[in-house]
Amino acid sequence: MRAGTIKKAVVVAPVSVLKNWENEAKKILTQCVRVKIQILSSDIAVNKRKQRLHQALEAQSSQLVITSYGMVANNSDHFTQYVFGKQVWDYVILDEAVSCVSVPSSRTRKNLIRDTER
């Protein structure tokens, strides 16, 4: 993010560690770059989640979205790698990717990763 090559990043992690990701990102990233960090989880109202995600995707500044595997699986249209041929996420981080072997998580992984292999 510091070099400006990464503007939009998403971290997909278990719900139990979302707050840890947010705290660590704030400690590390805010020291070296201006970045807006947002958590999207099921305890946030649907309209508010959609608004936050839309703002992150439309923003010109660096954005880090932290969300859960369940959120991605249930909202796959929002977490795809390409929309209308345009890359959505510059960087995707899968925390505990070993959990991607379960059925819902494997759909999550496919949605986020399949187009990055091109």
- Using one digit for the tens of pLDDT, what is the confidence trace for 43-75? 888 888 888 888 888 888 889 999 998 888 887
Residues 6+ apart with CB under 8 A from 109: 94, 97, 100
Question: What is the pLDDT confidence band of residue 117, given thresholds at 50, 70 and 90?
Answer: very low
- Which is more confidently placed, 14 or 76? 14
Average pLDDT over residues 100-117: 53
Inter-CA distances, 94 with 9, 32, 47, 58, 105, Å = 11, 22, 25, 22, 10
* Domain at 42, CATH number: 3.40.50.10810
Residue 59 maps to a domain: yes
Residue 65 maps to a domain: yes
- Which is more confidently placed, 29 or 30? 29
Residue 2 maps to a domain: no
Residue 19 maps to a domain: yes
Question: What is the pLDDT confidence band of residue 102, given thresholds at 50, 70 and 90?
Answer: low
Residue 68 maps to a domain: yes
Q: Which domain holds residue 66?
A: 8-117
Q: Are 98 and 18 in contact (CB under 8 A)?
A: no
What is the C-alpha radius of gyration for the chain, rounded to an integer number of angstroms? 13
Question: What is the pLDDT confidence band of residue 19, given thresholds at 50, 70 and 90?
Answer: very high
Between 2-6, 60-64, 82-86, 104-108, the lowest mean confidence (pLDDT) is in: 104-108
The domain tally of the chain equals: 1
Average pLDDT of the chain to the nearest whole number: 78
